Amino acid sequence: MATHDIALALKSSLPDTRQIDRIPAWLVLVPEHPAAAIWRELPYGEVLAQRYRRRPQAPATGSPLVCELPNSRGAQVAMATLPGAIESFELLTAARRLVAAHAEIQPQEMGVVIHGFGVEMAERAGEAVLAAALAAAAPMPDLRSTPRRRRALRKIHVFGAAPPHRYARTYAELAGSGLARYLATLPPTELTPAIYRRRVAQLARDHRLEMHFLDIAALKRKKAGAFLAVAQGSPSPDAGILRLRYTPTQGRNRPAIALVGKGICFDTGGVNVKPPRYMLGMQGDMQGSAVALGTLLALARMKVDYPVEAWMALAMNHVGPHAYKPTDVVTACNGTTIEVIHTDAEGRMVLADTLALCSRGRPRLIIDYATLTGSCVQAIGKSYSGIFTNRSEWWLPLIENGRLSGERVWPFPLDKDYDKALESTIADTKQCAEEGPADHILAARFLSRFVGEGIPWIHLDLSSASNRDGLAHVPTHYNGFGVRYTLDLLLNHRLPR
């Protein structure tokens, strides 16, 4: 069942005991150190207060206390106390833990009670719980001969939070990020570039989006040598650059927002082959393209009044007799000559031509997404993603957007003096340095060569794209990081004009 099939019922009042008795699973959120009046006003409040006072120790912020109610159904309650000034990441994490407390009973209906907070905090808590519930309910691939069955959540009742405008965005966001997570989870046998393109074509038909694909022959005509260098090692000539476009009824002539994504469906490392333990999970090297796709679909669902394009660089990085190799020199479609240093730095190669081709349409903003460098993970770990921009005045708004959305980012410098490490004696630039630190910064400097003059650009190095235990409100290994961040950035107009 898709997340948008889950119905939502909203009431600003508290539930009565009949409603409590009808629904099998409840989430209850109250302030830290709740006053006696809060317990009195809640149905079964005396029971909940007793359970709260008997807890073995003070729980960490947002950690759920799980108990059964003394009613005929034995309804299960997961309860958490929250500080009023809780950060969005912590709030989303608490919401994930609350939803997970009901995973074993697999309720088809779930009730949420938010009580004792101000209006703003109540709306934030309601949105976080909805996001966590939708994320947990999103279908993921299951290729076992006997797939695990689970009852699907069909309806969520939220009491105590007036309906905020944000809930419609939450549904759109979770549909987009759920799609990104699903695609990233598919094994490479189920998501080659050709299969990926067919899946996107079906989405384009379903959502009335314009789709155009630049295949190998078209890319040769455009002299996209950086992309073709990576693609030439594949036994199947199915690589290419896919462009998907949403055009609104009103505002069709406005400059587009362009979302560019790295779509390496499997990355062996090429001739510089990866060690075995780094090869596992490399079907997820296409997450940047999936985030671009999911974000476009979410914006289309929100019916934004400006065009949005997703440019997806789809390929595999194979080992073979025709694979590109270190010391090759290739020419990108903007005329830049590139000396190849390491074939496992293929992401920046396919993005180079994709950014250059995208720039020809003069979008008003380019955002690219890529699981690009291990050095970004080394720099900030897997709870944040790295961010770069050619607009230094955006640094603080970009950080703040991460803090408010709960998908946190940290900016890195993009100064020209880093180019010294990429100087080549035979070409315009090296693809990467032979060794040394700051590869994530050098990758961003390399990519900046292919962004059109004067076009605002943001580059997200998705160091937090995969977390085995989940991240924020998302419970799965692949988390679709970037969809929520981008929606908050664009729809809340957080960038200075």
Query: Please, what is the end-to-end C-alpha distance for the chain in angstroms?
Result: 40
- The beta strand positions in 43-125, using DSSP E, are 65-68, 76-82, 109-114
What string of DSSP letters covers 288-304? HHHHHHHHHHHHHHTT-
> If phi over 0 gives left and psi between -120 and 50 gives alpha, with beta otherwise, what is residue 110?
beta
As separate numbers, helices (DSSP H) first and strands (DSSP E) second, the chain gives 16, 17
Run of H or E including 214: strand 210-214
φ, ψ dihedrals at 235, nearest 5°? -70, -25
Which among 215, 378, 191, 202 has a CA at the least distance from the CA of 285?
191
**DSSP at 466:** B
Which residues are known to be catalytic? 274, 348
Instruction: Report the largest interatomic distance among the alpha carbons of the chain, rounded to a whole angstrom.
Output: 79
Written as six digits, the tokens of 184 are 């990233």
Which among 226, 260, 220, 266 has a CA at the least distance from the CA of 243?
260
| Cβ neighbours, 10 Å, residue 344 | 18
Q: Do 69 and 77 touch, CB atoms closer than 8 A?
A: yes
φ, ψ dihedrals at 451, nearest 5°? -90, 130
Rounded CA-CA distance 59/63 in Å is 6
The alpha carbon of 86 is separated from its chain's Cα centroid by a whole number of angstroms, namely 22
Which among 350, 329, 348, 347 has a CA at the least distance from the CA of 338?
329
Q: Do 4 and 87 touch, CB atoms closer than 8 A?
A: no
